[in-house]
Amino acid sequence: MARYFDVHPDNPQPRALGQVTAMLRAGGLIAYPTDSGYALGCMLGNRAGLDRIRSIRQIDAKHNFTLVCSEFAQLGQYVQMNNDVFRAIKAATPGGFTFILSATREAPRVMLQPKRRTVGVRVPNHVTALALLAELGEPLMSSTLLLPGQDDPMSDGWTVNDEIGHAVDAVLDSGDCGTEPTTVIDLSGDEVVIVRRGSGDPELFEG
């Protein structure tokens, strides 16, 4: 059963964040709040963690996982961006966007699209998520906590704990969580493709 961590929304307790990151470093899978609903996350390269996410969400190997980063400066290590894409993404982060881009060699191979070699990246605009990422010191391999048959991501920590606490190692709850999923934009090709419209304004990329 998951350990439940209730932290302050404006000043998450460092001790709780340290315990959660220790669980991640030990190979754990967590549920944590973001500005676009709850997400499931594990450490870079944690293949078993990704398999657990697939099991919870009932998704296949074609699913795009996301690297959730603490700041824009981290993105260039994991994805390829030309100057125009660089400027556009920088202007839109942090915020409600997930960007699909061609991966660099630094991106975890276990989460790449097998044929396209692409990966999703995002920087959330959420105090607790950013504090957790800062404590961890590296991105999380993540997926929106969207259960099978549901249209919207989970957004309440108690409900997350009740429904999937048996399947994760920790639930982090700060009482504040977005309810609308990110806008997903594929920038890996020659043309901009809006994969999903969500909380981020896609008009920024449709000009």
Nearest to 143 by CA among 189, 187, 176, 110: 110
Is the pTM value of this prediction over 0.85? yes
Where do the structural domains in the chain lie, given as residue ranges?
3-205
Q: For residue 116, what are the contacts with CB-CB under 8 A and spacing of at least 6?
A: 102, 188
Cis bond before residue 139 (omega within 30° of 0): no
Three-class DSSP category at 129: helix
Over residues 48-62, the pLDDT tens digits come to 999 999 999 999 877
Beta partners for residue 196, in sequence order: 184
Q: How many CA atoms lie within 13 A of 149 on its CB side?
A: 0
3-state helix, strand, coil in the chain (%, to 5): 30, 25, 45
Q: Report the distance separating Cα 175 and Cα 48, nearest Å.
A: 29
**Could you tell me the pLDDT band of residue 207, with boundaries at 50, 70 and 90?**
low
Amino acid letter for position 134: A
What's domain 3-205's architecture? Alpha-Beta Complex (3.90)
Over residues 61-90, the pLDDT tens digits come to 778 899 999 999 999 999 999 999 999 999
Over residues 141-178, the pLDDT tens digits come to 999 999 999 988 999 999 999 999 999 999 999 999 99
Would the CA dihedral through 104, 110, 114, 116 be positive or negative? Answer: negative
